[in-house]
Amino acid sequence: MGNGGHGLLAGKKGIIFGALNEQSIAWAIAEAAYREGARFALSNAPVARRLGALQQLAEKTGSPLFWADATKDEDLSAAFSDAKEALGTLDFIVHAIGMGVNVRKRRPYEKLNYGWYAKTIDISAISLHRIVHHALNTDALADGASVVALSYIGAQRSFSRYQEMGDAKALLESIVRTWGARLGKRKIRINAISQSPTRTTAGQGITGFDSMFEYGERLSPLGNADAASCADYTVTLLSDLTRMVTMQTLYHDGGFSSMGITDELVAALTPAGL
Ligand SMILES: NC(=O)c1ccc[n+]([C@@H]2O[C@H](COP(=O)([O-])OP(=O)(O)OC[C@H]3O[C@@H](n4cnc5c(N)ncnc54)[C@H](O)[C@@H]3O)[C@@H](O)[C@H]2O)c1
């Protein structure tokens, strides 16, 4: 166990998908899981290899690293077979994968390129289905395991700049429920964490991200949740303390999802003299 942990994941083994650089939510999750005594494999798309950052995290946490495109069945099947060989059966999976292709290429929702749209859904949502499928198919998942995926409130509400990603997250959260009903017989649970806007590569690929971030910061009573606090919350979901929680979208957003407006925002929108 690393410094400052509580041993919440002592003896647990898992796989974490989606750490790209130090800003990544999955990076913070890996550091927190390591601190809490877990051993895990790391995985990301082969294109992330040339950036070199993930290799450093793997070294720091003593983790095997498996390159897998989360839209490719053969890559995922190999990743789970290799992870099982390296660590034994897994107690947790973290899915922190997302990309909005139209968003990235500045295509407005009114003029979607449908090929890119399909790719967005494949990478950001269907990949969760594939990951669980291949984990089961390779017999890599232990009874009582915990699966966590990262989501955003754009799944429920319309955020103009989130565009196609809102559709992808709605499907992701639906897959959480549909899989969850089936995984329960093995006491395997699966949940989505709906996280505040966070300054990461994926987050900042959205035009208007800074305004969305500022809006979250002003509306949420606790302010926006950062990646490190998201990682701490994720650890609780990977631990046995939350063993009866499944099929949920859990808001980790400083209270944003329960807010309407604040006095400060009312004042800012009130014309002078009223
Ligand atoms: N940043 C935010 O504001 C925010 C808010 C709520 C939820 N999320 C979600 O958190 C998760 C992690 O994103 P992040 O913000 O840490 O950004 P990030 O860019 O650090 O992580 C996204 C990851 O997805 C990976 N990825 C993309 N295509 C892939 C593929 N084909 N196969 C495998 N991996 C692939 C990338 O390599 C990257 O590591 C995503 O699901 C994102 O939607 C982010």
Query: Which residues are CB-neighbours of 157 under 8 A, at least 6 positions away?
Result: none
pLDDT of residue 206: 84
| 218 in Cβ contact with 264 (< 8 Å) | yes
CA distance 274 to 270: 7
Beta carbons within 10 angstroms of residue 264's beta carbon? 10
pLDDT of residue 27: 98
C-alpha triplet 5, 48, 74: angle, nearest 5°: 95
- Average model confidence (pLDDT) across the chain: 96
CA distance 204 to 227: 14
Strand partners, 192: 149, 249
For 164-215, how does the pLDDT look when each residue is reduced to its tens digit (9 = 90+)?
999 999 999 999 999 999 999 999 999 999 999 999 988 888 888 999 999 9
Beta strands 189-195 and 249-252, pairing class: parallel
Where are the extended beta strands (E) located within the chain? Answer: 13-17, 39-44, 65-67, 90-95, 141-151, 189-195, 249-252
C-alpha triplet 233, 20, 121: angle, nearest 5°: 80
Question: Is the CB of residue 43 below 6 angstroms from any atom belonging to ligand 1?
Answer: no
pLDDT of residue 43: 98
pLDDT of residue 1: 44
pTM for the model stands at 0.97
Q: How far is the CA of 262 from the centre of ligand 1 (A)?
A: 30
pLDDT over 50 (residue 225) = yes
| 215 in Cβ contact with 123 (< 8 Å) | no
CA distance 248 to 176: 8
For 124-177, how does the pLDDT look when each residue is reduced to its tens digit (9 = 90+)?
999 999 999 999 999 999 999 999 999 999 999 999 999 999 999 999 999 999
- Helices in 62-97 by DSSP H: which ranges? 73-87
pLDDT over 70 (residue 7) = yes
For 98-117, how does the pLDDT look when each residue is reduced to its tens digit (9 = 90+)?
999 999 999 999 999 999 99
pLDDT of residue 168: 98
pLDDT over 90 (residue 66) = yes
Question: Is the CB of residue 20 below 6 angstroms from any atom belonging to ligand 1?
Answer: yes
For 30-54, how does the pLDDT look when each residue is reduced to its tens digit (9 = 90+)?
999 999 999 999 999 999 999 889 9
pLDDT of residue 54: 95
Query: Of 34, 114, 117, 162, which residue is the catalytic one?
Result: 162
- Confirm whether 215 is a catalytic residue: no
Question: Is the CB of residue 45 below 6 angstroms from any atom belonging to ligand 1?
Answer: yes
pLDDT of residue 160: 93
CA distance 37 to 33: 6
Phi, psi values for residue 82, rounded to 5°: -70, -40
Q: Which of 150, 210, 234 to mutate to test the pocket of ligand 1 (most atoms within 8 A of CB)?
A: 150
Q: What letters, b where the CB count within 10 A reaches 16 and e where it falls short, cover 59-79?
A: eebebbbbbbbbbbeebbbbb
Query: Of 152, 215, 233, 251, which residue is the catalytic one?
Result: 152
Mean pLDDT of 4-21: 97
pLDDT of residue 272: 86
Residue 14 identity: G
Q: How far is the CA of 201 from the centre of ligand 1 (A)?
A: 8
CATH code at 13-269: 3.40.50.720
- Confirm whether 117 is a catalytic residue: no
pLDDT over 50 (residue 2) = no
